Amino acid sequence: MTGDGENVKLAGCVGWPEDVARRYRAEGYWTGRPLGALLRDAARRVPEQTALVDGARRFTYADVDDAADRLASGLDGLGIGPGDRVLVHLPNVAEFVTLFFALARLGAVPVLALPAHRETEILHLAELSGAVAYVVPDVHTGFDHRELARTVAARVSSVRHVLVVGDAQEHTPLSAVDGPARERPDPDPSDVAVLLLSGGTTGLPKLIPRTHDDYTYNAVASAEVTGLDAGTHYLAVLPVAHNFPLACPGLLGTVAVGGTVVLAPSADPETAFGLVAAERVTVTALVPPLALLWLEAAEWVDADLSSLEVLQVGGARLKASAAEQVGPALGCRLQQVFGMAEGLLNYTRADDPPEIVADTQGRPLAPADELRFVGPDDEDVAPGEVGELLVRGPYTIRGYYRAEEYNRSAFTPDGYYRSGDLVRRLPSGHLVVEGRIKDVINRGGEKVPVEEVENLLLTHPAVHDVALVGIPDESLGERTCACVVPHGDPPTQRELAAHLRAAGLAAFKMPDRLRVLDDLPRTTLGKINRKLLAEQVSVVRTVG
Ligand code: OOB
């Protein structure tokens, strides 16, 4: 099944219509440059430049280029080839980078799980993607990934290889996957280069197929609007498996300009500030709660932040008051980023007036991005009014991977992605995110899929009915509250958390609060009235 266009060949993907694809090529959005070429070209231009810093390990462009080629040969030797999916579950380590480019060169497709994901998410991703290999660290933040890998290898029949960074035990060490570097034919630029995870959909995470052509544009054009150049030192604070630090412009955008990527092992301000000072970091990207933490920490952590030029903040709405503090407190320019793994990126620009940078979430990256703002009837709202943002464009997908049925509701028949975000556009073209209609709670940039958590809570014997709602929170924007109608004795929050943990759910999806109720308010159509419920639990919390 390749949908409309034949231009995306991986089965289970929806391509762009041929005439649209031709237009994107003719207009220069799709240049035919595969992702692997970003590294190759930099290695030719600036081989001795530092490409990557991971703790005490430093790699030049020549080093990373060669390591990626060797790893590609090793993976090839394991029988991993074009179109094969590889589930990558790595934190911010150099091996992520070499593996990413090795797979790109083979035409194999990384499936980028987040470090926080656990058994529930990983089994789902392995099965959905039909991954042939699973790549993990040995132990990270106290969690033994080899153990989880055992379960994955036993339960998911497609997984033939477990590759481990560090002490592999009975699995294969990634460092042993090696072979002589050799020239390989470039993958077709219209093929899928990476499967990103959706933060924005109902239920379990969906997979987002991004092609070489579209993702190269994403990274290169983002590097341009963020003002990256060969002097850029980009600090990856957020997990690089996420689209924002990976390609907006992030790691890939920095490689595209031959700058230096510094991998932060943790996001806490002391570690990050130390790296900013030591590596003369010029650009980094944060979610709003981290930005707030940095603003506070700047007052008491003694570190030289004078190299910082741009702080990007995105993933959730940043308060205007915090936005205004960035310049004075950190001595750099703020760039607001409103993006989504499905594609569309909005950035504030260097020459935007201060009030636009503080009060808006930027404007689209590409002139060819087509945006609509619609009401519940799918009709366009009046200009400037709030509506659901629909989008299509040269780097926005036309369908999720292997999700034919879901795609029918997530996209319009003429190919617009329904973002689920409530947005208005100012006359200047800048967007303001006002809310959302999708069933996702945005916990400071981390997306909690409501239905997935509710379904797991319902498997607890003491839970008769449940609704997970977002309640306002000073630092995270919102927190999760599980509203439970009990079956017999009400469960405690600790019991529910233990239940979810045993089911292997990522920690960031654990409900922050529990409210026990006699029943859940419903609409006249019998659906849970989430808005009213959220109001009720928020009000009770502030009063009591
Ligand atoms: C980024 O990507 P995802 O896929 O984790 O989440 C996308 C959703 C958006 O649909 C929107 O609901 C929310 O996250 N969001 C924002 C926002 N940026 C993202 N809501 C309000 N203000 C913002 N600035 O989160 C992402 C991808 C690329 C770059 C930056 C963020």
Chain Cα centroid distance, residue 179: 31
Other CB atoms closer than 10 Å to residue 68's CB: what's the count? 25
Percent with pLDDT over 70 in the chain: 97
Q: 449 alpha carbon to ligand 1 midpoint, in Å?
A: 14
- CB distance 145 to 138 below 8 Å: yes
Domain ranges of the chain: 440-538
Q: Is the CB of 286 under 6 A from ligand 1?
A: no
From the number of C-beta atoms within 10 Å of its C-beta (0-12, 13-18, 19+), residue 87 rates as buried
Q: 345 alpha carbon to ligand 1 midpoint, in Å?
A: 9
The ipTM (two decimal places) reads 1.00
Confidence of residue 543 (pLDDT cuts 50, 70, 90): very low
Q: 240 alpha carbon to ligand 1 midpoint, in Å?
A: 15
Instruction: Tell me the average pLDDT across 279-307.
Output: 96
Confidence of residue 1 (pLDDT cuts 50, 70, 90): very low
What is the pLDDT at residue 9?
80
Confidence of residue 526 (pLDDT cuts 50, 70, 90): confident
Q: Is the CB of 438 under 6 A from ligand 1?
A: no
Q: 244 alpha carbon to ligand 1 midpoint, in Å?
A: 9
Q: 248 alpha carbon to ligand 1 midpoint, in Å?
A: 11
165-169, 509-513, 531-535: range with lowest mean pLDDT: 531-535
CATH number of 440-538: 3.30.300.30
What is the pLDDT at residue 320?
96
From the number of C-beta atoms within 10 Å of its C-beta (0-12, 13-18, 19+), residue 286 rates as buried
Which residue's alpha carbon is nearest to atom 22 within ligand 1?
Answer: 317
What is the pLDDT at residue 3?
45
Cα distance between residue 129 and residue 12, in whole Å: 10
Q: Is the CB of 314 under 6 A from ligand 1?
A: yes
Residue 174 is given by DSSP the state G
Q: What is the pLDDT of residues 361-377, one digit of tens each?
A: 999 999 999 999 999 99
Cα distance between residue 41 and residue 106, in whole Å: 17
Q: Per-residue pLDDT for 529 more than 80?
A: yes
What is the pLDDT at residue 204?
80
Q: Is the CB of 244 under 6 A from ligand 1?
A: yes
Which residue's alpha carbon is nearest to atom 19 within ligand 1?
Answer: 315
Q: Is the CB of 444 under 6 A from ligand 1?
A: no
Q: What is the pLDDT of residues 313-347, one digit of tens each?
A: 999 999 999 999 999 999 999 999 999 999 999 99
Q: What is the pLDDT of residues 427-442, one digit of tens each?
A: 999 999 999 999 999 9
Q: 317 alpha carbon to ligand 1 midpoint, in Å?
A: 8
Dihedral Cα 135, 141, 146, 151, nearest 10 deg: -90
Q: Give the tokens for residue 116.
A: 């926080």
Q: Per-residue pLDDT for 541 more than 80?
A: no
340, 359, 431, 433: residue to mutate for ligand 1 pocket, most atoms within 8 A of CB: 340
Q: Per-residue pLDDT for 348 more than 90?
A: yes
Q: 540 alpha carbon to ligand 1 midpoint, in Å?
A: 29
Q: Is the CB of 421 under 6 A from ligand 1?
A: yes
When comparing pLDDT for 6 and 181, which is higher? 181
What is the pLDDT at residue 6?
58
Q: Is the CB of 343 under 6 A from ligand 1?
A: no
Number of the ligand 1 atom closest to the C-alpha atom of 438: 12
The HSE-up count of residue 104 (CA atoms within 13 Å, CB side) is 26
What is the pLDDT at residue 544?
38
What is the pLDDT at residue 199?
83
H or E element at residue 24: helix 18-26
- CB distance 316 to 477 below 8 Å: yes
Q: Is the CB of 433 under 6 A from ligand 1?
A: yes
Compute the C-alpha angle 39/44/45, nearest 5°.
100
How high is the mean pLDDT of the chain? 96
Q: Is the CB of 335 under 6 A from ligand 1?
A: no
Which residue's alpha carbon is nearest to atom 5 within ligand 1?
Answer: 199
Using DSSP, state whether 89 is helix, strand or coil: coil
- CB distance 77 to 179 below 8 Å: yes
What is the pLDDT at residue 5?
53
Confidence of residue 525 (pLDDT cuts 50, 70, 90): confident
Cα distance between residue 213 and residue 304, in whole Å: 39
- CB distance 502 to 510 below 8 Å: no
Q: Is the CB of 249 under 6 A from ligand 1?
A: no
Q: 314 alpha carbon to ligand 1 midpoint, in Å?
A: 6
Q: What is the pLDDT of residues 179-216, one digit of tens each?
A: 999 999 999 999 999 999 998 666 788 999 999 999 99
Q: What is the pLDDT of residues 471-485, one digit of tens each?
A: 999 999 999 999 999
Q: 59 alpha carbon to ligand 1 midpoint, in Å?
A: 31
- CB distance 252 to 246 below 8 Å: yes
Q: Specify the pTM.
A: 0.96
When comparing pLDDT for 281 and 205, which is higher? 281
What is the pLDDT at residue 540?
59
